[in-house]
Amino acid sequence: MKNGRKKIIIGKMGFTLLEVIVVIAIIGALTALAVPRFTDVLGNAQENTDLANAKIVESAIELYKVEIGEFPTEIHTFDEVVTELNKEGYLKNDKIIPSSKEKIFKYNSDKNIITLE
């Protein structure tokens, strides 16, 4: 450095257009592989959550029957079951909504079972 001047080095810096395109293509391919698997996992998790909720309600019905006696015969829908169990203190929530899209809970009053349809 003479006379207080800095020497400027002119060289090749940065990425070429081809390198950027290759990286974007790789990221796109990885995304294309990962997204369908993620949505499958999410769908399975939602259905498993719904099945677990159905089992919880069925267990609450059984506990109700053991402690109070027969489950009320005038109850015919899932929402009525959940309301009754909540009112009597066997369920914390007063409403249970399915996580799975386009599925609903059904209550079979003859067998006291919950299904997901």
Rounded Cα–Cα distance for residues 60 and 113 (Å): 11
pLDDT above 80 for 2: no
Residue 22 domain-assigned (yes or no): no
How many CB atoms sit inside 10 A of residue 67's CB? 9
Residue 112 domain-assigned (yes or no): yes
Residue 8 domain-assigned (yes or no): no
Rounded Cα–Cα distance for residues 79 and 112 (Å): 13
Percent of the chain with pLDDT over 90: 65
pLDDT above 70 for 44: yes
Q: Range of 107's domain? A: 47-117
Residue 31 domain-assigned (yes or no): no
Task: Yes or no: say if 82 and 93 are a contact pair by the CB < 8 Å rule.
Answer: yes
Q: What angle do CA 74, 115, 99 make, to 5 degrees?
A: 110
Q: What is the model's pLDDT at position 14?
A: 79
